[in-house]
Amino acid sequence: MDRDNILKLIEKMEEDEIFYQNYFNACGNGKSLNEFISSLDRDELYERKLIVPEIKGSWNPINMTDEMMYDFNNNKEITLSKHYRYTPMFSHKHSFYEVVYCLKGSCKQFINNYDISLKEGYFCIIPPDTSHSIGVFDDSLIINIIIWRGAFEDIFYNLLRKSNKISDFFNQSLFLYDQNNYMIVDTTKDTEIKNLILDLYYENLKNENNSELVTNSLVVLIFSLIVKRYDDNIYFPDQSKTPSPIVTEMISYMEHQFKSITLSKLAKRFNYSESHCSRIIKSNTGKTFTNIILDIKFNKAKNLLKKSSHSIEEIAILSGFNNIEHFQRLFKKHYDITPGKYRGSFK
């Protein structure tokens, strides 16, 4: 399908958007709103995952988890969706990354204490566990790209191992104690990136064999172009929270050497004593060296448990655990569930 037709497909009002538009119009008149509310079925609202704040028991995803997105996306590491126009603004958090792209028009976002306006061609990258809401109440088109946290090591391997504003932001939000709540990238008038977003949307919609591989590759290409072209067009809410290059480099090194890294090797790599290296990590992440390595290994293991057909013993080895009993014991202690039961929850 050519890109003009993909755009027309996105512009078309879907059933849920028509519902939200009718709700939005009714909100301007008390009598009309009461009539509209009284005509609704609570069970149907919940089944269709429609948000109507006036009705208790309607769907209200305050905290969105990987398991919830698994139900929506059939276990895709990256998925796209159009933000339904006229959806009531609701504050929520999630366990994954959300990349908001303004394809046409503009939108409002509230991220913690920040009031943000996104224009056409702008990206807003929101890390996990960040409270935010978004509002689109006209014909603007907003694309949401959902990226599972556990997918980063595999999908963005080459991007994350080099220090740049994008990789530093991702590493900061994954591991550092003091982080920025979002990142804005201005790609206004970049037709190539806009076309890639359209291709990405359609590829995700087709859901054919190997579509996921193409989707992941397109996302990496988009971020690579951003790194190449827009270093000066990247904005953070608080520049004081931008970590020192040495800290992000240390975190990146730990991510890519997680199977064999030790505190001694890390200190030698960066010409520090072990005690000084340990203090740098603790003061910038709030975690010990050992805890960060465990987080990296567990993120790898969880992604493999969700996505792969490897045995649990193979997953333990791929995740840097040489002893399966040790892996199972630590996993259950960390998540209060065995690896097998965790995998079963995604079946």
142-179 pLDDT tens trace: 999 998 876 666 677 667 666 677 777 877 777 665 56
pLDDT of residue 266: 93
pLDDT of residue 70: 54
Q: What does pLDDT average to over the chain?
A: 86
* 24, pLDDT greater than 70: yes
Q: Which of 255-259, 316-320, 326-330 has the lowest mean pLDDT?
A: 255-259
Pairwise pLDDT comparison (178 vs 61), residue with the higher score: 61
Provide, rounded to the nearest whole percent, the portion of the chain with pLDDT above 70: 89
pLDDT at 238 > cutoff 70: no
pLDDT of residue 15: 95
Give pLDDT, residue 244. Answer: 67
Per-residue pLDDT, 242: 61
Q: Compute the average pLDDT of residues 245-258.
A: 82
Residue 157 and residue 224: Cα distance in Å, rounded? 12
* Model confidence band, residue 11 (pLDDT cutoffs 50, 70, 90): very high
The model's pTM is 0.79
Q: Is the pLDDT of residue 72 over 60?
A: no
Highest mean pLDDT among 31-45, 123-137, 169-183, 278-292: 123-137
The reported pLDDT for the residue numbered 254 is 87
Q: What is the pLDDT of residues 96-127, one digit of tens each?
A: 889 999 999 999 999 987 899 999 999 999 98
SS3 track for the chain: CCHHHHHHHHHCCCHHHHHHHHHHHHCCCHHHHHHHHHCCCHHHHHHCCCCCCCCCCCCCCCEECHHHHHHHHCCCCEEEEECCCCCCCCCEEECCEEEEEEEECEEEEEECCEEEEEECCEEEEECCCCCEEEECCCCCEEEEEEECHHHHHHHCHHHHCCCCHHHHHHHHHHHCCCCCCCEEEECCCCHHHHHHHHHHHHHHHHCCCCHHHHHHHHHHHHHHHHHHHCHHHEECCCHHHCCCHHHHHHHHHHHHCCCCCCHHHHHHHCCCCHHHHHHHHHHHHCCCHHHHHHHHHHHHHHHHHHHCCCCHHHHHHHCCCCCHHHHHHHHHHHHCCCHHHHHHCCC
| CA separation for the pair 108, 118 (Å, rounded) | 6
Lowest mean pLDDT among 35-39, 89-93, 176-180, 329-333: 176-180
Of 158, 321, 161, 128, the closest CA to residue 255 belongs to 161
Residue 59 identity: W
Region 249-263 average pLDDT: 86
Q: Is the pLDDT of residue 55 over 80?
A: yes
Q: Is the model's pLDDT at 305 over the cut of 90?
A: no
- Residue 253: pLDDT over 90: no
> Residue 328's pLDDT is what?
92
Residue, of 230 and 155, whose pLDDT is higher: 230
Residue in the block written with tokens 């276990």: 75
Check if the beta carbon of residue 284 is closer than 8 Å to that of residue 177: yes
Q: What pLDDT, on a 0 to 100 scale, did the predictor assign at position 3?
A: 94
User: On the CB side of 119, how many CA atoms lie within 13 Å of its CA?
Assistant: 5
